[in-house]
Structure 1
Amino acid sequence: MRHFLDFEKPIAELEGKVEELRRTTDAGGIDVAEEVAKLRDKAEKLLAATYAKLSPWQKAQVARHPERPKCLDYVAGLIEEWTPLAGDRAYADDAAVIGGLGRFRGRAVAVLGTEKGRDTDTRVKHNFGMAKPEGYRKARRIMELAGRFGLPILSFVDTSGAFPGIEAEARGQAEAIARSIEAGLDAPVPFVATVIGEGGSGGAIALAAADRVLMLQHAIYSVISPEGCASILWRDAALAPQAAEALRLTAEDLKRLALIDEIIEEPVGGAHRDGAATVAAVGDAVANALEPLLLLDGPTLKARRREKFLDMGRSAVA
């Protein structure tokens, strides 16, 4: 059964009526095919109209949709000969960060990502995509490994942010994130990052300090969640919709601010309505972004990447 968001209730009602009429026809009742077609057309038009004018807060809800393709879905759909790598060689393995080696359209690559999980068991296993220090140290290890063997890096970002627990802070959360960002900036190989859902705070940029940063149409990317921002500024998480407006966290806003490089269109109604098409579209966008980077040598890649992020700071100051 499809999960509908609050703002999708009118769409849910229409699609429910379509399903009821379809079952009537299947059960051998009166022929209502024409009425079904009319209602289906009306539902599709309403869906397209609704998703054409989503507010930032509604986009945040879509980015968090439980049926949206997750990191492991992209790995399964795009990466062949997948070999996962575990552990940070210092403390433990963090299931919130996925890392490994494989082939992307025939080319050997290193892959990183944050995995939220799809049901209760997998969400608990992956800590809802909130990485701990060992996760970022694993990411750093794999980025350094990629540099050593000349493997392009692909990352798929979907996290509300780094894990905020006391034990994570005690094990050096901030330092681990900073070192992961440093490893991304210092990698002498092409690096393409894609924000596939939530891109939350340093937990996201730790895996996205890349040559090219792509973003799905209804994903979000921000220094803090709308709820967190509202709680800090106004002491009221219920003001999250206003915070979402102020944060400029949508793909359109970030492209306009030159903080990302490309927006990948989603199927009408969001990625959760057609996961296979979304994965394929991301694969094509990643391939197109990667191709020109393969022509550049390590020093050039590092210099250009450094300037890319320094320019963001210069623009913000200006």
Structure 2
Amino acid sequence: MASPAPAATKSVPLTCSGHTRPVVHLEFSDLQDDGTYTLLSSCKDGNPMLRDWLGDWIGTFLGHKGAVWSSKLSGGEANRAVTGSADFSAKVWDTFSGQCLQTFPHNHIVRSVAINAAGTKILTAGHEKKIRLFDLAKPEAEPSYLVNAASDAEASKGLAHPNNIKSIVWQRGQGENTTISAGEDKTVRWWDLRTMTKSSEISFTDPITSMERSQGCLGELLTITSGKNVYFIDATTREVRKQHQLSLAPSSASVHPVNADKFIAGFTGDGWIRIYDFETAKELELHKGHHGPAHAVSYSPDGELAASGSEDGTIRLWQSYPGKKYGLWQ
């Protein structure tokens, strides 16, 4: 009789503590020359945290007076970060010193932010329904506004979307002349930063819960969750590369950046983390561990691990290839 096949090695997560309220957004830096990277977490406790590739705490950015909904890192060595908060402000930080370099007041909650690769310009969006472009070399200057010129009603009010804006990402390709926003109006819009007007949009049937930009073997991709669906869209051509309907509605999703052979999704319904086959959406792995809804997931730039952030205030790091010696998994 043939021997039974050996059981698959189970991923044992590393738990990163420190936050005191729900973790709502995660952002990895670019991969550094020495093979390391950093992880920036946004939390309702108002204290975004920076960690190294092992999950060890580097520092906390102190200064916001409300929940931080979004944090993004500049390109390269990621020496700059931008954060958007419920305290009606966006802040720019030096990631090496932890110093707040600039604060930009708003009139309502800043739900999402973006920063260009050089760390010289930022975009902000949120409950004002507007998208602002700030030049960090001219902090006293008034920001520029992206306006939907195709809609007279929106243009007259200086709006980018008719409803709150949930997410904004900066397209790194093609000279960084494009930004992409997702609104509660169930649309994703592309904006030309040279004309400051909308260039294209895609409408969805269900509310959009997350949008992530990634750069990998499939080029620059947008991973969008809407209802029970996950969409993988070419950021440049706007082509839907793949669409999958899952059994549950995901809160966020992230595609493996190196092989693009699988994607991870988090769920607020049961708090579990699932890994799916990219081509078929077959469930490959089920990870339990969080004690509350999972709000955010993201793959590291080398694809060796994925991070998840939860209502329980923790970040968990899940090894992509259990059994392989990597980081603290030795």
Structure 1 length as normaliser, TM-score?
A: 0.26
Report 1 or 2 for greater relative contact order, CA contacts < 8 Å, sequence distance ≥ 6.
Answer: 1
| Greater strand proportion | 2
Higher Cα radius of gyration:
1
Structure 2 length as normaliser, TM-score?
A: 0.26
